[in-house]
Copies of this chain bind each other. A is one copy, B any other.
Amino acid sequence: MKIGILTIGNELTSGRIQDTNSALISRAMQEQGWAVARMISVGDDDGAIHDALAHLLARADGVIVTGGLGPTADDITTAAVAKAFGLGLYSDPAVLAHIRSIFEGRGLHWTENNAKQAVFPDGAEIIPNPAGTAAGFALRRERRIVAVIPGVPAEAKRMLFEGVIPLFRNAFPGAALHVETLTFKLFGLPEAAVDDAMADADLAGLGVGIGFYPNFPENHLVLTVREASAERAAEKLREARKRVEARLGKHIFAMGDETLAGNVARRMTERKLTLAVAESCTGGLITDRLTDIPGSSAFLERGFVTYSNAAKTALLGIPETVIREHGAVSAETARLMAEGARKSAGTDLGIAVTGVAGPSGGTEAKPVGTVFIALADGGKTVCRPHAFRWDRRRNKVFASQAALLMIWRHLTGELRNDG
């Protein structure tokens, strides 16, 4: 089964807004085992919509259209699609009543242009909008189906999964395969090294697709199986997972929707451990990522952003002589920062980062991207040097990732105490 996607709006063709719906829809189609043949974007232009729709209908079994369903004059999708199909328009009383009730419920003033959102092509199947006033609709012609939904991403997403996909599955029952995917999240391993490691795994022979997707600062490895039965799909994926884990296990820090910060938070909380963070070049990004996780107050006691040397001395007890002799960016300072944060907070663990984020501040001995990360647990303090080669923001992101990974490896017992 082939799919075409048409996204409509001047905000797209002018580059003002990034079209995220096409990627969302194509990913969902992939998950259904349906191939996306074309994705087209056009402005709010009658002729262009007509032309693009004809192009897609000649090349796809199902076409999904988003955008241009609003109440204002530039929202012309419904009329343009009706015209392309040679259909008239009608106003649906039930939808009109529903829109009016939304306005009343929100205490909004009703203006007549809102009635436009209750207008559909003759014979359209209405796709309800559980999150807004713009209902969608579907039209069928010669074993092909077109579904039209709003462009607002949150509404498009719900209506895609609750309306469009069930409609397409019914329209093309034979086309539905059980598609299962499994995502492994890795950090610090280039694509070529993953390729190399997986070379003898023969996933192709197993009938499992493998994809490798950079997702800064992480790399995601995605397995995909398409099978007639859910059982067979799950079975293949289990075997493939074993083969991946045997080869890349130590580089995997999360699966599927898990995140590195989320896994650190969960493990810290489960083990009733507490953490203090001392950041210099990452500037608060580590605690920002950890505090994105609900419930992080269970383990995160405090963070220090010791941007000045005076702050490092006053808050973490780093002797001025250490900073003078070894530098604020040094293994010695990083270790004392981790130990000082831990001691100040009375926590189980202390993690510290100090480095040169750039673009200036680098020296020959310590160029931009030099970062030291230390973890103190009250026993030995481990410190790791890093040499990142990105711009300021990405050096910060990489350093925060490496620091979280260091905590994660400590928690999983993989952090060697060789520092």
Contact = CB atoms under 8 A, between A and B. Distances in A.
A98 interface: no
Interface in A379-394: 392-393
Given A296-B307, A307-B297, A392-B292, A39 B41 contact: yes
A127 B315 CA distance: 55
A15 to B, nearest CB: 3
A308 B304 contact: no
A30 B14 CA distance: 6
Contact of A302 (B26, B41, B311, B345): B311
Contacts of A29: 15
A308 B315 contact: no
A262 interface: no
Interface residues of A, number: 75
A210 interface: no
A83 interface: no
B41 A38 contact: yes
A358 B294 CA distance: 7
14 contacts: A14-B27, A15-B27, A16-B27, A38-B40, A283-B291, A284-B284, A284-B285, A284-B287, A284-B303, A297-B307, A297-B308, A302-B307, A305-B305, A315-B315
A196 to B, nearest CB: 13
A300 to B, nearest CB: 5
A345 B300 CA distance: 22
B22 A19 contact: yes
Contact of A288 (B211, B283, B345): B283
A161 interface: no
Contacts of A267: none
Contacts of A51: 59
A279 B284 contact: yes
A213 interface: yes
A22 to B, nearest CB: 7
